[in-house]
Amino acid sequence: MEKILITGGSGFIGSNLVKYIHKNKPDWHIFNLDALTYAGNPRNHQALENDSRYRFIHGDITDSALLKKIFTEHEFDGVFHLAAESHVDRSISGPEVFLTTNVMGTFKLLEAGLNHTRNHPGKAFKFVHVSTDEVYGSLGFDEPAFTEETAYDPSSPYSASKASSDHFAKAYHRTYGLPVVVTNCSNNYGPYQFPEKLIPLIILNILDGKALPVYGKGENVRDWLYVEDHCEALVRAFEKGNPGETYNIGGGEEKNNLQVVHALCDLVDQKTGRKKSSRELIRFVKDRPGHDIRYAINSDKTEKSIGFKARFSFEKALSKTIDWYLDNMDWTRSVQTGEYQQWIQKQYSS
Ligand code: NAD
Ligand code: DAU
């Protein structure tokens, strides 16, 4: 039985990763450490509450004493580190927590991993540090996609904090030999994404007949990756990745924001039988400061070395994503109204 620690397992990607591993790795025991910030929702794993292969640990990655306790108690075979503050706009209005969680929290977790390997010499261990393509900065429209060799050039406080955490992760490998693998992926979408990010925000605003805010002229390009593809890549990075290496993970689906919003309008209209086109709700609003114009990932190394290639097309997976939100309106409404936070309060205040 592999004992795997997933940090941030109640957030968007973490929730999908917990489910993916639970389904595809029957001999792995999952420990989910999550502080349940606004972005964490323990209800995502209600079905696993009494499952012998899943355990939820409510706690903060900046809490060294807690990390020491759980590493000693469970002797993890590996870590998937996803806990983070993840929203660029929030990092612009309030950067400090991004340093605390993304930089300091990662440092504390690396320390805990290092102590663990020192206490168990010879025991297999791997630390997958989950990061973003935003660390590479902004690409021009004619420039080649980011490779693992692209120099770091972060634009936002979010991407600067992730870049810093990547450097610490690499440094812990080079200096202390901690078996760290760094993954840098593009924009994820799919079930359980908090409706502050473009795709779920637009879906829900269409359903509510609200304005659809498009920053600037909607020309910024992102490389969209379906979250299930990302989960597969992370498991491959854990199983096959070489310590000290970086693996870029992209969906190979570059779209500008206006194309994404148009696709969402047309698909939601089709699925809900809405007569008047939702495109009429589009509003071009003030641009995000420091808004990177384009991200695109070259995944050649990842494909060759760990055998990962995205399988989901944007069209099909976008349609699946909309279906998930339409079928799970109770989840969506409890997140929109903040009701899930009251549930967390009741559950965890003692
Ligand atoms: P998210 O915001 O949906 O979830 C983050 C999770 O981390 C939440 O459950 C939250 O409660 C938890 N958390 C926050 N601070 C914590 C702390 N101090 N201690 C313990 N838990 C804490 O984020 P996401 O979109 O799922 O992203 C997960 C990871 O993937 C992040 O590291 C992010 O930088 C990276 N990433 C995300 C994307 C994307 O498109 N969403 C793309 C590239 C990389
Ligand atoms: O590239 C990976 C990154 O993708 C991750 O590291 C981040 O955690 C994740 O949040 C995401 O960052 P983005 O800033 O690209 O995602 P977001 O959904 O916020 O925005 C996507 C694009 O849509 C971006 O160009 C800004 C634009 N946008 C966003 C919102 C919320 C709008 O035009 N209107 C909006 O209301």
What is the pLDDT at residue 347? 75
Among all residues, which ones are annotated catalytic? 133-134, 158
* pTM of the predicted protein model: 0.98
Q: Phi and psi (nearest 5°) for 21? A: -70, -40
What is the chain's mean pLDDT, rounded?
97
Residue 203 pLDDT level (bands cut at 50, 70, 90): very high
Ligand 2 geometric centre to CA of 223 (Å): 11
Q: Per-residue pLDDT averaged across 83-107, rounded?
A: 98
4: amino acid identity, one letter: I
Which CATH superfamily hosts domain 2-348? NAD(P)-binding Rossmann-like Domain (3.40.50.720)
* Sequence spans of domains, the chain: 2-348
Ligand 2 geometric centre to CA of 184 (Å): 15
* Percent of the chain topping pLDDT 90: 95
User: Is there a contact between 102 and 84 (Cβ–Cβ < 8 Å)?
Assistant: yes
Tell me which residue has tokens 């590493």.
Answer: 71
Ligand 1 geometric centre to CA of 85 (Å): 6
Which ligand lies nearest the alpha carbon of 283?
Answer: 2
Express each pLDDT in 97-151 by its tens digit: 999 999 999 999 999 999 999 999 999 999 999 999 999 999 999 999 999 999 9
Which ligand lies nearest the alpha carbon of 215?
Answer: 2
What is the pLDDT at residue 350? 55
Express each pLDDT in 299-345 by its tens digit: 999 999 999 999 999 999 999 999 999 999 999 999 988 888 887 77
User: Is there a contact between 221 and 39 (Cβ–Cβ < 8 Å)?
Assistant: no
Residue 62 has pLDDT above 60, yes or no: yes
Cα–Cα distance, 27 to 29 (Å, whole number): 7
* Percent of the chain topping pLDDT 70: 99
Which ligand lies nearest the alpha carbon of 287?
Answer: 2
Residue 349 pLDDT level (bands cut at 50, 70, 90): low
Residue 18 has pLDDT above 70, yes or no: yes
Structure tokens at 256: 């500008």
What is the pLDDT at residue 339? 86
Closest atom of ligand 2 relative to the 261 alpha carbon: 33
Residue 195 has pLDDT above 80, yes or no: yes
The count of other CB atoms within 10 Å of the CB of residue 343 is: 14
Q: Give residues (CB < 6 A) around ligand 1.
A: 7-8, 10-14, 34-37, 39-40, 60-62, 82-84, 86, 101, 105, 130-132, 162, 185, 187-188, 194
Q: Per-residue pLDDT averaged across 48-65, rounded?
A: 97
- Which residue has a Cα nearest atom 4 of ligand 1? 11
316: part of which helix (H) or strand (E)? helix 314-327
